[in-house]
Amino acid sequence: MSVPTAPFRGVTVVPGVPNMAGLTVDQGVVPFPDSTSDFVKLLREREIPVDFLVPREQRVYVGHKALELWLPILEFSRDLLISVESGLLVELLKSYLNPAGDRRPIDDIEETREAATAAPEPSRSAILHVEWHVSRPDGERQTFVANGSESSVLDALSRFEDHVRNNEGQ
């Protein structure tokens, strides 16, 4: 599936389920994972602009019964990522996985690498499936895909974010 770049300086929610390319329902509709609404609420709670590639009336959501968690496929604008203190992507994922945790405003995120990659609460042992993209205004796009334990996905996400920032001279 060809996915356009983020149309604005925020986050675009892309139809599809990570690690399930080609999944369709209801006469070929590409669904969103059932975690999408909650994750979008988290983004909006932090005052991050969010847009969907599919109009509300055409969206279909799917859930899977497994000890696994499929997050929505998101496309972050590079401008959003570099305008915020480092650790935004890791902080968003940690906030979603631990909703009772600290909900700081987006401009108050100051994670260190050690804190960003610290192991999450041991009570959750689900396998995570994440596909996130960071796109530049010129259309260049970097992709993060991870399937694994919370700690391994958080560590890989931290390295991805560092890589994107280093490529931008941050």
State percent of the chain over pLDDT 70: 78
Strands 61-62 and 50-52, by their bridges, are unpaired
Beta-bridged to residue 75, according to DSSP, are: 12, 133
Q: Give the mean model confidence (pLDDT) for residues 151-160.
A: 95
Convert the pLDDT of each residue in 46-87 to its tens digit: 999 999 999 999 999 999 878 899 999 999 998 888 887 668
Residue 4 lies in a domain: no
Inform me whether the pLDDT recorded for 8 exceeds 90: no
Residue 1 lies in a domain: no
Backbone angles phi, psi at 96, to 5 degrees: -70, -45
Are 32 and 72 spatial neighbours (Cβ–Cβ below 8 Å)? yes
Confidence (pLDDT) at 102? 52
Convert the pLDDT of each residue in 98-137 to its tens digit: 887 654 544 444 443 344 434 334 334 689 999 999 998 8
Confidence (pLDDT) at 6? 42
Residue 155 lies in a domain: yes
- To the nearest 10°, report the CA torsion of 157, 160, 166, 169: -80
Convert the pLDDT of each residue in 18-49 to its tens digit: 989 889 898 899 999 999 999 999 999 999 99
Number of domains in the chain: 1
Residue 94 lies in a domain: yes
Confidence (pLDDT) at 114? 42
Strands (E), 78-160: 127-135, 141-148
| Closest of 98, 99, 78, 100 to residue 88, by C-alpha | 78
What domain range includes position 38? 11-167
Q: What pTM value is reported for the model?
A: 0.78
Confidence (pLDDT) at 31? 96
Q: What number of H helices and E strands is found in the chain?
A: 5, 8
Confidence (pLDDT) at 122? 36
Lookup: tokens for 103 = 């909900």
What is the rounded CA–CA span in Å between residue 61 and residue 33?
6
The residues near 155 (Cβ < 8 Å, ≥ 6 apart) are 117
Inform me whether the pLDDT recorded for 148 exceeds 60: yes
Residue 42 lies in a domain: yes
Residue 5 lies in a domain: no
Instruction: Provide the residue type at 98 as one letter.
Output: N
